[in-house]
Amino acid sequence: MMNLRNPLFPSPATNPMPDLAEFMTTKEAAEELGFTVTSVRHLIYKKKIESVKFGRSLLIPKKAVKEYLEKTKGMSKNDPRRSLK
């Protein structure tokens, strides 16, 4: 029988659930940025936008989307400085 109090199996009290109001899904971020979901995932992969793994989903802090928008303000979608490719 498995010991559920083992420190290798942290309880929810040691890993609190994040405040989901501060996050958005990749789909919501894509709509906010004017990109596809695939492009948003690419930005996450390239470390241009931070994300948090929540179960099988990726959640993006709203502040990260806002920072990316401010950083790329005035650039076209195809500007190489946006690093989509």
Any idea where the domains of the chain sit in the sequence?
20-71
pLDDT, residue 84, reads 58
Q: What is the dihedral of CA 53, 85, 79, 81, to 10 degrees?
A: 70
| pLDDT > 90? residue 57 | no
Mean pLDDT within 3-17: 56
Q: Is pLDDT at 35 greater than 60 in this prediction?
A: yes
pTM of the shown model: 0.70
Three-state SS string over the chain comes to CCCCCCCCCCCCCCCCCCCHHHEEEHHHHHHHHCCCHHHHHHHHHCCCCCCEEECCEEEEEHHHHHHHHHHCCCCCCCCHHHCCC
Comparison of pLDDT for 45 and 18, the residue scoring more: 45
Question: For residue 76, what are its two tokens?
Answer: 């076209």
